[in-house]
Structure 1
């Protein structure tokens, strides 16, 4: 059976983000914006694991690994957004969303779809940037290996 590392690490990102935000909510830290930005490291870790796995298994094509890392991040973010939608509905829907949006980058009244849409596109952009940065690191390692 072929191992699908993108799916595996995408689910790992989803679980990491979900656990992180559940713990933040449990400890009453959900309103701390600077802590919310730490989820980027969870996404980067999942992308890193995918790219590293590809290099270990002999896949050294730059674009293939860039796309694989990007797809891992997008999958994790997408699953995380679906989890967020469920979580918002469990916590009270629009009334809970208003407490989140007051402390985030949103101004005025928004709905769940707008909130999650903006977060999804932000996550996609972060995944692309993260995959690109990590590929710069791995690309330089591969060049060093080939010159030895």
Structure 2
């Protein structure tokens, strides 16, 4: 009787364990694929450094902030909205301490109810964005007091 229960338990375990290990493998592949795409997005965004900032423009020669983000992501098959106001509702929330390349970072300098600026996190506490102040696509630091003081939230697009 005990021998029969042990054999049954071993049989069940031998079926369940491989099933769960396959789930982990699938998740690992999905994460790796997503990271690869996000790294490609970041690398591609560098091609637009120095392109002019023009309010209301969405590329490829000139951009505003949300137009830049939309252009980059949509060129990889994502369907990102046009405005910062709408982009902040896409994807999932990401804590500032968990930022990864490709995450969207949002700022608000004068409106406590919605963000007014967006960029793409590129790693090492930096993000790329179409800056009205600089007049072009540029890289800035999240440690810069202006961006640190006006940081709003971040979103991860899947």
Q: Same fold (TM over 0.5)?
A: no
If the length of structure 2 is used for normalisation, what is the TM-score?
0.33
Question: Which structure exhibits the higher relative contact order, with contacts defined as CA atoms closer than 8 Å and separated by 6 or more residues?
Answer: 1
Which structure has the larger Rg? 2
Greater share of strand: 2
If the length of structure 1 is used for normalisation, what is the TM-score?
0.35
